[in-house]
Structure 1
Amino acid sequence: MTAHPDISVVIPARDEIVALGPLVEEIAQALTGHAFEAIVVDDGSTDGTPHALAALQARHPWLLALRNDRPCGQSASIRRGVRAARGALIVTLDGDGQNPPDQIPALLAPFARAGSAALGLVQGERIGRKDTALKRLASRAANAIRRALLRDGVRDSGCGLKAFRREAYLELPWFDHIHRFMPAMMLREGWRVETVPVTHRERQGGTSKYGVLSRGLVGVPDLLGAAWLIRRAGPPRHWAADVEPERASSAPGRVGITRQEPLRP
């Protein structure tokens, strides 16, 4: 293992054996020159993933494989990976290969800027999504409802590409499916959030764990629970002292979103 990693890449994976090998190699290329580790949390796969990960670990000493004895879900797998991580900065991406690892530097760049001490999360926002038209439509509707209820200012909180401070994540009130509400929960604790546009590609392996209808039904109680947590929030545990006044939100304890737009030709 890397002696003192600065960055920990956490990948929840379930029955995505085809995608994991190329994904691990791409992470190594994207983070060349950085002190990093990658943690794959196998969420009870039945497709031979443990054997594939063992072979990858033998070639890459910076790779750690963890396994859930039964499927626990994406949020629980991410949480396990973050708790095992040693880097101060965490990057997450999905195990199906739809999140290109070459986007990781764009997520990390804001943390290297002056005045980033209060930056808790950089949220990727997918451009040119490669999902079906029905899935894109359902996601657009769900994001609109979430923005209206939570007022987090993010267009695509469900994107798996995220970078955040480990300490900030561990401060959050944990609940299942929290990965879909990370911007709102970070704002609740007084951390600043930025968004960056990221690319998207076809699924490289595995299948979606939710249908369009089942994803919506699962998300309703979580959305209501997240809204309840925000309305019951006390003073934030992290005071964003380096946030300019014009970026501050009118809601107590919440700071604004900084958005980077895609480059135009």
Structure 2
Amino acid sequence: MAEIEAACARLGVFEVVYVNDGSTDATEGALVDLMATRPWLRQIRHARSCGQSAAVRSGVRAATAPIVVTIDGDGQNDPAYIPKLVEALDAAGASAGLAAGQRLGRKDTGFKKLQSRIANGVRSRVLRDGTRDTGCGLKALRRDVYLSLPYFDALHRFMPALVRREGYEVVLVDVVDRPRLTGVSNYGFFDRLWVGILDLAGVWWLIRRRRTAPVATEIKAPFGRETP
């Protein structure tokens, strides 16, 4: 938490929304203690564990700022990159909806890195999202753009493609990976493989079915003329 506070202090006024995804350990109490001396810290708790995409959605919905940065809670994401992501999104202007971190120096096991390399390669070929790594938890996004995306489990892994589907640009920022400090991965090889294939097919279908949204303008009666 100290690293996040130090990084966000560079941005001026900020808030941290910690999503407690139905933990059964002492997380809730520890956060309550931290909140007593940190007015910028908020805790959103799920009644039961719902997964990463649900946690991101709850956090973004609870956030009050127009730009939101997501970060994993296992310590692999370095909070020092938070200002860089926000600055990259700001510099790109309103046409950009997402600044996505892309990991360098992955600290995962060789097998997990192989899994990710295969999954990212297939996803990139099918969706043509121009992103080599969508699994990085560090992302800066415009809150309204995120809330306009179709919600489903594993949404966080397809965010660049879906943001581009909405007509926004995606900015890519290299970030250095760190070893996991806490917790264990909940993703196994076969469950990620089969679910990932179904998710990929679904996102491909959504992109193919995208139609240009009509520009709608309300025409009002001239001043002083009554409308029927």
TM-score (norm: length of structure 1):
0.78
Unaligned runs of 5+ in 2: 216-228
Q: Equivalences for 1:32-51 in 2 at 5 Å?
A: 32-33=9-10, 34-51=12-29
Which 4+ residue blocks in structure 1 deviate beyond 3 angstroms?
none
Separation in structure 1 between the aligned mates of residue 23 and residue 2 of structure 2, nearest angstrom = 21
Q: Equivalences for 1:1-265 in 2 at 5 Å?
A: 24-33=1-10, 34-113=12-91, 116-235=93-212
Identical pairs, percent:
51
Deviations, residues 132-166 of structure 1 (Å, cap 9, x unaligned): 00000110000000011111010001110100100
Separation in structure 2 between the aligned mates of residue 142 and residue 236 of structure 1, nearest angstrom = 31
Aligned position for 2:224: none
Is this contact kept in 1: 2:89–2:98, CA < 8 A?
no
Higher-Rg member (1/2): 2
- Name the SS of the counterpart of 1:31 in structure 2: helix
Compare 30-39 and 184-193 and name the one that shifted more.
Answer: 30-39
Count of aligned pairs between the two proteins: 214
- Name the SS of the counterpart of 1:134 in structure 2: helix
Is this contact kept in 2: 1:128–1:199, CA < 8 A?
yes
Q: State the shift of 1:219 in Å.
A: 1.4
Is this contact kept in 2: 1:125–1:155, CA < 8 A?
yes
Is this contact kept in 1: 2:89–2:140, CA < 8 A?
no
- Name the SS of the counterpart of 1:160 in structure 2: coil
Deviations, residues 35-92 of structure 1 (Å, cap 9, x unaligned): 1100111111112111111111112110000110111111111101111100110100
Separation in structure 1 between the aligned mates of residue 61 and residue 137 of structure 2, nearest angstrom = 18
Structure 1 residue identity aligned to 2:171: E
Unaligned runs of 5+ in 1: 1-23, 239-265
Separation in structure 2 between the aligned mates of residue 58 and residue 220 of structure 1, nearest angstrom = 44
Compare 176-185 and 216-225 and name the one that shifted more.
Answer: 216-225
